[in-house]
Structure 1
Amino acid sequence: MLQVRNLNAYYGKSHVIDGIDLDVEAGQIVSLMGRNGAGRSTTIKAIMGLVQADGSIRFGDMELLGLEPHQIAHCGVGYVPENRDIFPSLSVRNNLLLGVKSGRGKGRWSPEDAYDLFPVLRERADTAAGFLSGGEQQMLAMCRTLMGDPDLVMVDEPTEGLAPLMVAKVKELLLEIARRGASILLVEQKLTIAPEISERLYVMGHGRIVFSGTPAELEADHALRREWMEV
């Protein structure tokens, strides 16, 4: 589904991502891990067309590199940034409705699905989103992206700063997304939920992929985890 080849990304003259390859197959959950500053967030921003990049990013039979972010979204790619980017002055309901893409038929997700999965969103449907807790805002941000019925969902650090109960809810939602047929590219720093739900893991260091394999293979590679992941 997603095939990244020789991807380079830049902030001005700074070469941040250095020739990485990455694949996400249809229906897979794949995680991109590593320490802060390794280039994980920049990688998904490059896929979304938000930073200067070169190489190749193929999504199905389409080349995404060179497209604008809104065009990439309409190709079926959803993106949940680390800062969530909800509209704090708008109600929960209106935040969800903003995620619906015009011109697309009935998809896999509706606001009612979001309310069923997270009843607190139903209870606060008319509340300004800025009054939600951090965990509730994360749920809203992810559900808003799903309203566009993406075939690939990229989620940047969804568990950062969340209490264990909310982390469990994030995990539940990611698994439900996969059950409904969408692929997931998950950016995570900690070994919290990624090894439990991912079919494949990539570890980044200094803008390069330093490991690609299964959760079991990463678990067994103590030296790599010590060098590239542990604080």
Structure 2
Amino acid sequence: MGAPLLEVAGLEAYYGKSHILHGVTFHVGEGEIVGLLGRNGVGRSTTVKAIMGDVQPLGSIRFRGEEIAGLKPHQTALKGLGYVPETRDIFPGLTVRQNLQLGEKAGKTGGRWAMGDMFRMFPQLEERADMRAGVLSGGEQQMLTICRTLMGDPDLVMIDEPTEGLSPMMVEHVGRLLEEIARRGVAILLIEQKLTIALKIAHRLYVMGHGKIVYEGTSAELAAAADIRKEWLEV
């Protein structure tokens, strides 16, 4: 993979007096798909919120060599980081087309993605382009959220639990979209519960436990590490 695009070192974070992250350290290379795995409650979502600026971080977060720890979310986004939260924060009263337009960065031209790309990848969104986003199914809302983030042309997109609650067919769709994103040179930090998806599409995987990284390896290495899966991933 390419040079490190995102480098996180010694990341700590708190919710009130609760100490959530304990020295999290990892990196994501240019155009790389990196999975961040772990059971619920181990700090995966807090990690991406701290990177984005939704949670106050302590430690170092470098993007393209520049320290970004402590920036506000909109400042982080302008640096080239995209974030797709697991809450699928669409604007239900606006149309699908308007939601996508909101993702565009003012004054930015010549990006990797246009609305036509979104509609080609997801014909369902084109069919519903002028419908209010609130009437879409959960899977369609998830696709819309990812596509809206891509409209801002990020260099790295952090996606939190994109397949949660989706039908098997929709899960396949999302998997193909993630591979297409990576093919266009966009790096992905993927938080995912479903090990099969992460093993299939991620180049490297980190496993979190108790607020820190407990394992790093390739998909093949984690697939062979039954002890790690049993201790840190299986319910």
Q: Normalised by the size of structure 2, how large is the TM-score?
A: 0.97
**Matches of 2:145 and 2:223 in 1, distance apart?**
31
What is the match of residue 81 of structure 1? 85
Quote the offset at 1:221 in angstroms: 1.2
Distance of 2:175 and 2:63 partners within structure 1: 25
Letter in 1 for 2:200: E
Amino acid at match of 2:173: K
2:222 counterpart residue number: 218
The whole-number CA distance in structure 1 between the counterparts of 2:168 and 2:14 is 35
How far has the Cα of 1:215 moved from its partner? 1.0
Shift of 1:43: 0.4
Instruction: Measure the CA separation in 2 of the matches of 1:62 and 1:5.
Output: 13
Aligned residues: 231
Q: CA deviation at 1:25?
A: 0.3
> Could you tell me how far 1:105 is from its partner in structure 2?
1.6
Alignment of 1:200 with 2:199, yes or no, is no
Alignment equivalent of 2:64, drawn from 60, 63, 68: 60
Q: Does 1:140 align with 2:131?
A: no
User: Residues 123-179 of structure 1, C-alpha deviation per residue, up to 9 Å, x if partnerless?
Assistant: 100100010000000000000000000000000000001011000000111011001
2:182 aligned partner:
178
Q: Match for 2:34 among 12, 30, 41?
A: 30
Off by >3 Å, runs of 4+ in structure 1:
none
The residue number in structure 1 matching 2:164 is 160
The secondary structure found in structure 2 opposite 1:50 is coil
Task: Choose the corresponding residue for 1:18, options 6, 22, 31.
Answer: 22
Question: Counterparts of 2:44 and 2:65 in 1: how far apart (Å)?
Answer: 24
Distance 2:122 2:156 in 1: 21
How far 1:192 moved relative to its partner?
Answer: 2.7
2: distance between equivalents of 1:230 and 1:66? 34
Within the alignment, does 1:120 sit opposite 2:93 as a pair?
A: no
Give the % identical residues.
Answer: 65
Of the structure 1 ranges 77-86 and 189-198, higher mean CA displacement relative to structure 2 is found in 189-198
Q: CA RMSD in A?
A: 0.7
| Residue number in structure 2 paired with 1:151 | 155
Measured in 2, the distance between the counterparts of 1:105 and 1:96 equals 15
- Partner AA of 2:15 in structure 1: Y
Give TM-score scaled by structure 1 length: 0.99
DSSP 3-state at the match of 2:77: helix
Question: C-alpha distance in 2, partners of 1:61/1:211?
Answer: 24
Q: Which runs of 5+ in 1 are unaligned?
A: none
Report the alpha carbon displacement of residue 35 of structure 1 after superposing the two structures with TM: 0.4
Separation of aligned partners in 2, 1:61 and 1:217: 29
